[in-house]
Amino acid sequence: MNKSKLVYRPVGLGLGALSGLAAGMLFKQAWRLAGRQDDAPDALDEGRAWTEVLAAAALQGAVFAVVKAAVDRAGATGVRRLTGTWPA
């Protein structure tokens, strides 16, 4: 295992935890803007329509995927700056 992978592992774990928190906050803000409600619907919430539940799930998935990709990319770039190699 090369040095950049060893450096990236703990960095990636920490960034992953932070990205999950950030994505959750961004999703809540995006849902308030899109759905005009404080709480996103739960899949088992009988009082919510299918379209609302599926739209919330799609938005949440998109937000989490974009935040994860951005954080992973930024972490890998930082490790390359520190070690000189990409942590692939």
pLDDT digits (tens), the chain, 88 positions: 666 677 778 878 888 888 999 999 999 999 988 876 778 898 999 999 999 999 999 999 999 999 999 998 998 898 888 888 888 7
Distance CA 58, CA 19 (A): 18
Task: Mention every residue, 6+ apart, whose C-beta is less than 8 A from residue 28.
Answer: 40
pTM for this prediction: 0.80
Query: pLDDT for 18-33, tens place per residue?
Result: 899 999 999 999 998 8
